[in-house]
Amino acid sequence: MTVEKHEFGSTADGSAVGLFVIDTENGYRLTLTNYGARIVSLLTPDRRGNSAEVTLGFNELGPYLEPNPYYGATIGRYANRIAGGTFRLGMKTVRLACNEGPNHLHGGHQGFDRQLWSAELIGDSDFAGVRFARVSRDKEERYPGRLTVELEVTLNTSGELRLCYTAETNKTTPVNLTNHAYFNLAGPDSVSILNHRLETGAAYYLPVDENAIPTGELREVAGTAFDFSRSKAIGTEIDAVDGGYDHCMVFSASEPVRELSPVAQVYDPDSGRRMEVLTTKPGMQLYTGNKLAGSFDRHRGKLPARAAFCLETQHFPNAVNEPSFPQPFLEPNQAYQHETVYRFSAQR
């Protein structure tokens, strides 16, 4: 296990940005940066033992400083969408910035993905990674409360990418943190994930309106294109979903935090790579890269739609406005904790 730290450039105000490379020396290599507490790159072996890139991203800092599809970024203070950018907190209405049409998306214009985090190397002979930290000030992107956040991102020799989030606040505030990595298990020569086979433990999903806001209904996946209770190719029924998959899959309709549990697995039959997902969160946004067309990647150049997928573990979108959903509000006397594991292997 080796860990290296490099310079990755500087932000517009001249702040230095670091790049951290963790190599297990058995085929797995993870690259992180403290700009956006971001996964820059992940290499994993295929069935023949050949390692290749399985995430989208850039080799230089510059494109991350510009608008991009949130490649590998930590998302906060609230992942996903909040309808109208507003919610009630006691007797007050909180009004957030609307950065996706009429909605608030992924923390606003200057969310956690566009912030420089502190970074500390952690690990031992079996695992290594980075502990990221930052303080989100009161009224940052108009959210109430001073929020102190830590995130440990580690990789071990068994191919487990582990993300452990903690946070504390001095005022009641919604908190919903996730990572926005885009995966294509077939490697850098592939521009489609439609043949990847997905299986999830979700019995329900959240239908959405024309602005991608959940309607409030929990709908059973049985008999729909969202039924991945048995492994099937992502592309099998994607055309039956208007615009493609960009929906929250539901594992628990009532618990905001659960025990770390397996919730999904994806298999690429061409490479033999498999990715299992375990999380403590009640939901997971399944996004099939429907809006990637015209974006760029380090390997593929200009991308088509559906060149990669995201499995973003999280609270439900717009839960701040849906009392029947598990609630995402953090109180001053509570600790926010969230753990997600992406476990990689290859089928011979």
Q: Supply the DSSP symbol for 117.
A: P
8 A C-beta contact, residue 46 and residue 346? yes
Q: Mean per-residue pLDDT for 87-107?
A: 96
pLDDT for 200: 98
Q: Tally the domains of the chain.
A: 1
Active site residues: 180, 312
pLDDT for 278: 98
What are the start-end ranges of the H helices in the chain?
Answer: 62-65
Mean pLDDT score of the chain: 97
Q: Of 235, 325, 315, 308, which Cα lies nearest the Cα of 281?
A: 315
Q: Other CB atoms closer than 10 Å to residue 258's CB: what's the count?
A: 14
Q: Of 129, 123, 122, 86, which Cα lies nearest the Cα of 104?
A: 86
pLDDT for 80: 98
Both tokens of 187, joined, read 């490697």
pLDDT for 133: 98
Both tokens of 205, joined, read 């999903």
Alpha-carbon gap, residue 205 to 249, rounded angstroms: 4
Q: Of 247, 264, 249, 269, which Cα lies nearest the Cα of 192?
A: 269
Residues facing residue 208 across a β-bridge: 214
Both tokens of 330, joined, read 């953090």
Residue 60's pLDDT band (cuts 50, 70, 90): very high
Q: Of 10, 5, 132, 6, which Cα lies nearest the Cα of 62?
A: 10
Q: Of 42, 108, 65, which Cα lies nearest the Cα of 308?
A: 42
Residue 290's pLDDT band (cuts 50, 70, 90): very high
Alpha-carbon gap, residue 72 to 163, rounded angstroms: 12
Give the range of the structural domain holding residue 258, as residue numbers without chain letter.
2-346
Alpha-carbon gap, residue 2 to 111, rounded angstroms: 31
- 67-82 tens-digit pLDDT: 999 999 999 999 999 9
- 299-347 tens-digit pLDDT: 989 999 999 999 999 999 999 999 999 999 999 999 999 999 999 999 8
- 269-287 tens-digit pLDDT: 999 999 999 999 999 999 9
- 222-270 tens-digit pLDDT: 999 999 999 999 999 999 999 999 999 999 998 888 899 999 999 999 9
**pLDDT exceeds 80 at position 348:** no
pLDDT for 239: 97
Q: Of 209, 152, 207, 178, which Cα lies nearest the Cα of 282?
A: 178
Residue 111's pLDDT band (cuts 50, 70, 90): very high
8 A C-beta contact, residue 19 and residue 33? yes
Q: Mean per-residue pLDDT for 20-28?
A: 96
Alpha-carbon gap, residue 96 to 140, rounded angstroms: 10
- CATH code of the domain covering residue 226: 2.70.98.10
